[in-house]
Structure 1
Amino acid sequence: MPSTIAEKILGAKVGKEVSPGELVVVDVDGVMAQDGTAPLAIKVMRERFGEERVFDPEKVAFVIDHTAPSNNPGTSELHIEMRRFCRKHKCTLYDVGTGICHQVMVEEGRAWPGSVFVGADSHTVTYGALGSFATGVGSTDAAIAMMTGRIWFKVPEALKFNLIGKFREGVMSKDLILKIIGDLKEDGATYMSAEFVGDGLKDMRIDSRLTVSNMVVEMGAKVGLMPADEEVMRFVEGRARGVPKPELTFPDPGAHYKDEFTYDLSEIEPMVAKPYSPANSVPVSEVEGIEVDQVFIGSCTNGRLEDVAVAARILKGKKVAPNTRCIVITASRNVYLQALKKGYVDVLTEAGCLVTFGTCGPCVGAHYGVLGPNEVGLFTTNRNFRGRSGHRTSKVYLASPATAAASAVEGKIADPRKYLKVRVRDMEV
């Protein structure tokens, strides 16, 4: 029977063909938790199961990233508990400054084509760009997976997104996913496998693809999968842990999808999601001119090298508007070092940005730029729920790094196409 990417991966794990709605128990290739969820998973082990146990230290990782560095003694205690656990059980701890969990997992090769990865963080779906059945779970399920190395899933129905054409100048993959979420809304893909195929993928580097998969959960998807084509295989070669060479993973011709959609990348324009939902997306022209107090370029959605390169290209030789703050946080120390070597950090700093690395910070309203009463922010993050990034009366608009950088220059939401006269794929990054 022809299979979708999700059905292929789960079927390979259980050794038989699987169908949507079927319940399966599979071995996991990796488990991750961060500082907002790892302490809860440890507590579950102790209180519900009466013991701490890790099925395989090589496959379990903790990341301190959400409130990193700590902003109060209580958070410091949680970080200390994570360090203690990892020392005791010999699993990996990525401590303060290493990076945001999803970027670190990708850099460290902990997810690869055909793998099954669960993380106690909803944006674990990011790794689907590498052909991994990667999804977020609660702390209880994460604890069980850490202890047993197994987890259950209902085989998801699938949606196919056919991507054709090429992006135009000033348009990024963030604009594509905001358009898709705006079309399908918050529940348009609930517990489904969102599968992206087509020649349009060739117009996206790995950085761009990760952005798309990262946000599928905002329309309810269980996973956001892409075929493991040659570009993916080049990225994971020598990086993937535990496998000599991952296999190419494509959907079968004739595989059944609940619905199919076609998006011509050449028709996508810069998009902005208005408060208070990622699905509340509109073309930038509808919100152009709204004044912003703070611009944030970064997060697990848009803190990679391509994103920083775009921002630096727009801000080079310019200054952040007088009444606007601009914060740039790369998704990992590795990305920061690359940006430093290429001169992007210098460009952004000279433009008036605060540039740092390796923390979720303002995205989750922890620190490094929490919005005050009635302030307006333009963020490259994945969520703009009321009160998430600051005071309940603050407002966050979501946009691409190009739109964010252009808006930092003008101090108001701006169309990036007047500044970025090149296709992102054609840029040297």
Structure 2
Amino acid sequence: EKILQRYSVNLPDGKVVRSGDYVQIQPHRCLTHDNTWPVAMRFMSTGATKIKDPSQLVFALDHDVQNKSPSNVKKYEQIQEFAKKHGVNFFPAGHGIGHQIMVEELFVWPGTLCVGSDSHSNMYGALGSLGVALVRTDAAGIFATGKSWFQCPPVVQVNLLGTLPPGVRGKDR
């Protein structure tokens, strides 16, 4: 709730974001990977010609790096050209897994809201960030407007009581 509050935009004065609320968000960063070209095509199909905030985006090619087929090479070239044209943070194939790049290059840190067009984007929670997976259409919307929407998830508190036996941690069952 606190992170969503910080990254929500156009809230009524005094509005406190709570579980279940729908909010418009302006995430700190948005990661796309090998799916960047389909996202870019959706972006362009809306008539958009300029990325709202190039510094908000990170393109990291990491899924199909071993594929040297002409179609994949062409897709990677299109992504690189699109990134260069718009001034987007770009990491070509061979630089590592996109989510690790997000961490190592300091695009994500505690308290930030980072989204990605990949189901593993929630891994940013390990850093105290709110990581949210988006579909390609929502990512294209962020390319164009810098914003998207989100429903605040349920919030739970876990209290560990007593002393855990040696070798047991909070994630153990």
Bin for the TM-score computed over the shorter chain: 0.7 to 0.9
Task: Give distance in 2, aligned partners of 1:64 and 1:29.
Answer: 20
1:150 paired residue among 114, 139, 147: 147
Question: 1:10-409 counterparts in 2 under 5 A?
Answer: 10-14=4-8, 16-35=15-34, 37-47=35-45, 49-162=46-159, 165=164, 168=167, 200=169, 265=172
Query: 2:23·2:152 contact (CA, 8 Å) conserved in 1?
Result: yes
Q: 1: CA distance between counterparts of 2:134 and 2:121? A: 9
Structure ranking higher on relative contact order (CA contacts 8 Å, 6+ apart): 2
Structure with greater Cα Rg: 1
- How far 1:19 sits from its partner (Å)? 1.6
Alpha-carbon deviation of 1:52?
3.3
The aligned residue for residue 204 of structure 1 is none
Whole-angstrom CA distance in 2 between matches of 1:167 and 1:135: 34
TM-score by length of 1: 0.36
1:134-167 deviations in whole A, cap 9, x for unaligned?
1110111001112211111111112444567366
Per-residue deviation, 1:117: 1.1
Let me know the Cα RMSD of the aligned residues. Answer: 2.1
In structure 2, stretches of 5+ residues that fail to align are none
Q: Match for residue 217 of structure 1? A: none
Identity %: 33
State whether residues 42 and 52 of structure 1, in contact with CA within 8 Å, keep that contact through their aligned partners in structure 2: no
Distance of aligned partners of 1:51 and 1:13 in 2 relative to their CA distance in 1, 3 Å threshold: closer
SS, match of residue 157 in structure 1: coil
Is this contact kept in 2: 1:38–1:62, CA < 8 A? yes
Contact 2:48 2:144 in 1 (8 A): no
5+ residue gaps in structure 1? 1-6, 172-199, 202-262, 269-429
Distance 1:106 1:161 in 2: 26
Amino acid at match of 2:91: Y
Mapped partners of 1:103, 1:165: distance in 2 = 31
- Specify the SS of the correspondent of 1:21: coil
Residue deviations 1:104-152, cap 9 Å, x none? 1011111112211110101011111111111110111001112211111
- 3-state SS, counterpart of residue 117 of structure 1: strand
Could you list the per-position Cα deviations for residues 54-83 of structure 1 after superposition, in whole angstroms to 9, with x for gaps in the alignment? 122222111110011333211111101101
TM-score normalised to structure 2 length: 0.86
Q: Call closer, same or farther: CA 1:147–1:75 in 2, change over 3 Å.
A: same
Q: Which amino acid aligns with 2:74?
A: E
Query: In 2, Cα distance between the equivalents of 1:165 and 1:143?
Result: 46
Judged with a 3 Å threshold, the aligned counterparts in structure 2 of structure 1 residues 106 and 167 are, in CA distance, closer, same or farther, namely: farther
